[in-house]
Amino acid sequence: MPQSEEHLAVLDLLDVSHGVVALTRVDLVDDDLLELAVLEVEEQIAGTSLEGWPVIPVSGVTGEGLDVLAEALGTALAAAGEPRDGGRPRLWIDRAFTIRGAGVVVTGTLAEGGLRVGDELVVAPRGPRLRIRGLHRHERPVAEVLPGNRVALDVVGEGVEDLRRGMLLTAPGATVPARRFAAVLRGVRSVDPPTDRGAYHLHLGTGAFPVRLRILSAGPPIRARIDADEELPLRIGDRFVVRETGRRAVVGGGRVVDPLGVPVDEEAWRELVEALDDPRDRAAALVRAHGSLERTVLDAAAGALPEDAVVVGELVVAEETTRRIRAEARELVAAFHERYPLRPGIPKAELASRLGVSARLVDAVVAETDLVDDGASVRLAEFSPRLADADRRRWEEAVARLGESLAVPRVSSLGLPDELLHAQVRAGELVVVGDDLAYLPRQLDEIVSRLGELPDGFTVSEFRRHFGLARRQAVPLLEWLDAEGWTRRDGDLRRLSRPGPPRAGDAPPR
């Protein structure tokens, strides 16, 4: 492809819609040939973003048309309007060099946002932080530069000596680091479109990055998944050009549709593509595509927050997602109670998995409902564990057996199903001591209240004989009393740490 034709293709792929075509060296041709040349240029730019641009014949030798060209440039500049200032400067470095006495200087075109001396920037996507020590515009020092201007930055900070062409300087948290992202592509006239099998370079800003393409839909527009060899600093809507590595030919270009992944839903693709030109619309579409996103991630990916965002904690959630989660969560919790009436509630991790969302989003949405978050589980506000008739009979039999003496049987010999056993432990109706000893709370109260009957400083044997216990029961029970703070170990002896509770029938203290 001839160079001028490739340049026109790149301008079209980047959707440059305001400009002027200067037809040069017109002093070398006659009027008839000039008229044909103008018609040829107009035909070549028809159907592209350049269509309708004025074609101005000029000559640097005679000065013909230069005044007209200057006027046309002014008109095009006014029509383009002011560059967007989203408060997030983005400057792709095109040169980096060292000046004696000034240090490292980088130059580029400030595509968005403003810069001031003293501002802090980062080398995106995960590079070091730098500080602007000086700004120059048109070789003159300035304190501030607005978007759309060429600028030279005198920067200081860690790693400034590694700055080079193709790096992006921007505000912290202004882009998303992405190695795989979704994009829409379109090809170039007279050139075969990109395919899955080619080797390509993605031209983004002033950088060129090796990538692989996976064509998902032939379009138009072509839907593609793009995999880069390194993390790229992206934002939804970013424009790029694709060059085939072997032939070094421009074969297409496109826009980033989703820097956070590849949508699987047809509706999500359509909404994202339609919203590319408005920061708030694309933020809303991105949230709907993902269901929820962290506020900082969404702000970096879209450059804005949706106007009607549902913000839950640090998450921005699609309204339909919160409605679905609230409704489905209640149904899932109720069904869990029905299936497991002895459990306190559905484990939060299980609820998140069943809903297909993160546990953090479950926390945030549950906090906005009447569901009760018990930390590890979620339950209905009106729910309390209940025993079925068969479980109640089993429990009454176990209570009767436990109440026969302090020489309690092993837990495993009580014949209680695990579900019932754990439910009664959670309810405080049963205490498991050691690995396999079960006590009713009143039995432990009795033991604690009778500790004062033992001498000050008693042995395991004295404790065992006093309560009629076997050694296998006495040792775990003493360790439990230590852990609960009723006793403390002093060598081979135990001493009381605090007085026990009064026994039933004892006279109240005076």
Give the pLDDT mean for 6-31: 93
Three-state DSSP state, 189: coil
* Token pair of 379 as six digits: 């339950």
Contacts of 141 (CB under 8 A, 6+ apart): 134, 135
Mean pLDDT of the chain: 87
Is the CB of residue 282 less than 8 Å from the CB of residue 299?
Answer: no
For the stretch 339-358, pLDDT in tens is: 888 788 888 889 988 888 87
What is the rounded CA–CA span in Å between residue 402 and residue 148?
83
Query: Sign of dihedral through CA atoms 339, 340, 346, 351?
Result: negative
Q: Which of 11, 5, 47 is nearest to 203 (CA)?
A: 11
| pLDDT value of position 499 | 63
For the stretch 436-468, pLDDT in tens is: 888 888 888 888 988 989 998 999 999 989 988
How open is the CA angle 178-183-187, to the nearest 5 degrees?
135
At residue 1 the predicted structure's pLDDT band, cuts being 50, 70 and 90, is low
Helix and strand totals (H; E) in the chain: 14, 27
Q: For the range 430-438, what are the long-range contacts, defined as Cβ-Cβ under 8 Å and sequence gap of 24 or more?
A: 433/476, 433/477, 433/480, 434/476, 434/477, 434/479, 434/480, 435/476, 436/410, 436/411, 436/412, 437/408, 437/410, 437/411, 437/473, 437/476, 437/477, 438/402, 438/408, 438/409, 438/410, 438/411, 438/414
At residue 510 the predicted structure's pLDDT band, cuts being 50, 70 and 90, is very low
| Alpha-helix residue ranges (DSSP H) falling in 216-309 | 266-274, 279-290, 295-302
At residue 473 the predicted structure's pLDDT band, cuts being 50, 70 and 90, is confident
| pLDDT value of position 338 | 83
Tell me what percent of the residues of the chain surpass a pLDDT of 90. 48
Instruction: Give all domains of the chain, ordered by start, each with its CATH number.
Output: 3-80 (3.40.50.300), 90-170 (2.40.30.10), 176-315 (2.40.30.10), 319-379 (1.10.10.10), 402-496 (1.10.10.10)
Give the pLDDT mean for 109-136: 93
pTM: 0.71
Distance of CA 96 to the CA centre of its chain: 32
Q: Which of 417, 418, 411, 415 is nearest to 397 (CA)?
A: 415
Contacts of 492 (CB under 8 A, 6+ apart): 459, 460
| pLDDT value of position 14 | 93
* Token pair of 241 as six digits: 């050009």
Asked whether residue 105 carries a pLDDT value surpassing 90, the answer given is yes
Three-state DSSP state, 49: coil
Asked whether residue 2 carries a pLDDT value surpassing 90, the answer given is no
Asked whether residue 500 carries a pLDDT value surpassing 60, the answer given is no
For 85, half-sphere exposure in the C-beta direction (CA atoms, 13 angstrom radius) is 10
Which run of H or E residues covers position 247? none
Decide which of 397 and 114 is more confident: 114
For the stretch 194-223, pLDDT in tens is: 888 889 999 999 999 999 999 998 878 899
* Token pair of 234 as six digits: 């992206």
For 51, half-sphere exposure in the C-beta direction (CA atoms, 13 angstrom radius) is 5
What is the rounded CA–CA span in Å between residue 333 and residue 354?
11
Q: Are strands 200-204 and 239-244 parallel, antiparallel or unpaired?
A: antiparallel
| pLDDT value of position 60 | 92
Q: Are strands 21-23 and 55-57 parallel, antiparallel or unpaired?
A: parallel
Kindly calculate the radius of gyration of the chain based on its CA atoms and give it in whole angstroms. Answer: 37
* Token pair of 55 as six digits: 């074609």
